[in-house]
């Protein structure tokens, strides 16, 4: 079962290319600080900004670097069925452990359309599939009943990244899905509440900058040590919050710039953080002793 702190890894750029020297540093940091699994090409990884050939090389490079030390998830979903299946098959062939497939954005399908979309993907691939529900990005919510139906009917749909912010919906999935179906928190501010309800981990933005702290909170929850987890969760509230003062991944990448781990480079339409927010971010990072 996939559990623990899973970092939604940023994709660093330099001179209009992926910065593989920075990637090496980031991967080493996560392997050394308890990150339980790594997600490539998710929302935080700016998958939509990557060219197809660039993306394929990047995935293979990271898989080679990680070399089986921790599980690797790859974001493969698009709003096009054929491309989603092709991306998922490529991730499967490259050796990824899981495919994270987002609900089709822009199309605004019905629940029937969502069910049939994910059914088709699951039927065409062998790699374990994790659904990704993030209505704030896609304009569509994958309802709990649809998720549960998919979990019951497709054994290779093994989990969901739940980023709806709806704790009732998440709880219904945990209650009604098979016992080995994994619900992962998709929002750092919801990690503790969802873990108390029965989530098995998080796909985290904040883990990019404090991997050991996020791992510790999730591990405490998995071990039932909720009092310790609560203390650390509350301690991270301000840091979790500042990661979303502008569109993700702008704040987390700016934080990594301030920490000296990546270059300050973005791909349009993502742009640099405004000066007032940069000052606020720096103030909070200094409070957490992440920068001097």
User: Which residue numbers are catalytic?
Assistant: 132, 161
Q: Which value, in Å, is the radius of gyration of the alpha carbons in the chain? A: 18
CB of 75 closer than 8 Å to CB of 57: no
**CA 203-244-130 angle, 5° bins:** 20
CA atoms within 13 A of residue 78's CA, in its CB half-sphere: 14
CA dist list (Å): 13 to 100, 126, 186, 205, 281: 23, 32, 24, 18, 21
Antiparallel, parallel or unpaired: β 98-102 and 129-133: parallel
CA dist list (Å): 124 to 75, 214, 283: 16, 35, 49
**CA pair distance 290, 243, nearest whole angstrom:** 14
Give the distance between the most distant pair of CA atoms in the chain. Answer: 52
């Amino acid at each position: 079962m996939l559990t623990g702190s899973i970092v939604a890894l940023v994709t660093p750029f330099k001179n209009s290319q992926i910065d593989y020297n920075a990637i090496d540093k980031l991967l080493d940091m996560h392997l050394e600080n308890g990150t339980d699994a790594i997600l490539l090409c998710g929302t935080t990884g700016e998958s939509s900004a990557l060219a197809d050939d660039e993306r394929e090389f990047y995935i293979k490079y990271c898989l080679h670097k990680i070399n089986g030390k921790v599980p690797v998830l790859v974001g493969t979903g698009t709003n096009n069925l054929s491309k989603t299946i092709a991306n998922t098959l490529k991730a499967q062939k490259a050796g990824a452990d899981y495919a994270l497939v987002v609900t089709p954005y822009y199309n605004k399908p019905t629940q029937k359309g969502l069910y049939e979309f994910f059914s088709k993907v699951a039927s065409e691939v062998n790699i374990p599939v994790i659904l990704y529900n993030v209505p704030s990005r896609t304009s569509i919510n994958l309802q709990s009943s649809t998720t549960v139906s998919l979990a019951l009917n497709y054994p290779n749909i093994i989990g969901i990244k739940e980023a709806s912010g709806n704790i009732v919906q998440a709880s219904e999935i945990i209650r009604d899905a098979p016992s080995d179906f994994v619900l992962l928190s998709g929002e750092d501010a919801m990690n503790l509440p969802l873990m108390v309800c029965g989530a098995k981990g998080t796909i985290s933005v904040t883990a990019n900058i404090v991997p050991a702290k996020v791992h510790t909170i999730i591990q405490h929850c998995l071990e039932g040590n909720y009092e310790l987890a609560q203390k650390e969760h509350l301690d991270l509230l301000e840091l979790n919050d500042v990661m979303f003062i502008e569109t993700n991944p702008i704040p987390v990448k700016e934080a990594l710039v301030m920490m000296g781990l990546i270059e300050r480079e973005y791909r349009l339409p993502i742009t640099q953080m405004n000066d007032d927010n940069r000052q606020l971010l720096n103030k909070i990072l200094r409070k957490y002793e992440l920068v001097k």
